[in-house]
Chains A and B, each alone.
Chain A
Amino acid sequence: EESGSMALNLTINSNNPPLGALLTAEHVKDTVQVSVEEGKDNSLHISDSVQFSDTNSISRYLARVAPALGLYGANMMEQTEVDHWLEFSARRLCDQPDLTLALGDLDKALSLRTFLVGHALTLADLSVWAALKDQSSWPSQSKAFPHVRRWFFFLNSQVPFSSVGSKYASKKP
């Protein structure tokens, strides 16, 4: 696989931008060349026979072609934890009418952690942050979940998060 050396093309649904994938692309941009185009559907074009359309799959691929950045964790244990949070963001934070239980679990996990996995930023943080950013009900609920709030606004203040947030989150309907 020589994909790491060639330019990748990410097409995004401009009506509903995949924040997690865009954030991952922003984090790996100095290692992997990723161009972003607006279109109708989300798709990371690897080759004519391989394309990814799910936001977490796109993030996983980008993290794997830039292993030196450590976005997939430092060892097998952390990698499994990252997988747990990717699943958590997709199943329990996206398109859910009531986030109370999920936020309670997240709050407990974050009480003793600055980042979700290990001691540095991983895909877990990117994916869960993106899923929360997409929830219109989240900021008003933040008072009840102080650890999630601290973690969320800390990430918000960091450069790739603030730039992706202001560039794309405002385009949401």
Chain B
Amino acid sequence: MALRELASLEKYLGLKKPNKYSTQGDKKVPVLQNNDADPLVGLVTIACHLVKEAKRPELLGDGAEGRAVVQQWLEYRVTKLDSHTEDTKSILKDLNLYMQDRVYLAGNQLTLADVLMYYGIHSIILDLAVQEKEQYVNVARWFDHIQHHPGVRRHLPPVVVLRNRLYTSRHH
């Protein structure tokens, strides 16, 4: 899973030469063997490295505060979203509240946090019923926006998100 994500991220970033990855341990943690340096271990570490390699520093956040928020969501991705210890419903509920007044996870532009959270949450959103997508309306809107962002979707199938409300007129 993580290896396909890293391959998709390389393409999104426009990196010409695909890297070779291996995995480590039961949890299949991705490893990037660096030619001259020590190997890089872990999804977020490697993803940040690829962003720097592609010279796209804006994807790591704008200003000190923006960078901290991006790191916070990258951490959230690997600790809460990937661990499955947290209940899916409570993740969706928290994220829905957070996204109420936001278009992207950090600041007013797309960052690596949006891309990796989108890849990570895709299977959860794919399984939601139409009514549930409307219940977590802010998550659904953010997800639909990111999956239509040019070049991001790659290996993942599109998820149908209705653009008009069917069930209620309540706001949350």
Residues on A facing B (Cβ under 8 Å): 107-109, 111-114, 119, 146-147, 149-150, 154, 157-158
A150/B165 in contact, CB under 8 A: no
Docked Cα-Cα span, A158 to B140, in Å, equals 23
A112/B137 in contact, CB under 8 A: yes
B108/A154 in contact, CB under 8 A: yes
7 A–B pairs (Cβ distance < 8 Å), ordered by A: A108-B165, A112-B137, A112-B162, A112-B165, A114-B144, A119-B148, A157-B108
Residues of chain B contacted by A109 (CB below 8 angstroms): 164
The answer to the question of B171 belonging to the interface, with a C-beta cut-off of 8 Å to chain A, is yes
B141/A111 in contact, CB under 8 A: yes
Residues of chain B contacted by A113 (CB below 8 angstroms): 141, 163
Residues of chain B contacted by A154 (CB below 8 angstroms): 103, 108
Knowing A107-B171, A157-B108, A158-B108 touch, does A146 contact B141 (C-beta < 8 A)? no
A114/B171 in contact, CB under 8 A: no
The answer to the question of B93 belonging to the interface, with a C-beta cut-off of 8 Å to chain A, is no
Residues on B facing A (Cβ under 8 Å): 100-103, 108, 134, 137, 140-142, 144-145, 148-149, 161-165, 169, 171
Taking the closest CB of chain B, its distance from the CB of A122, in whole angstroms, is 14
Knowing A111-B171, A158-B108 touch, does A146 contact B101 (C-beta < 8 A)? yes
Docked Cα-Cα span, A114 to B138, in Å, equals 10
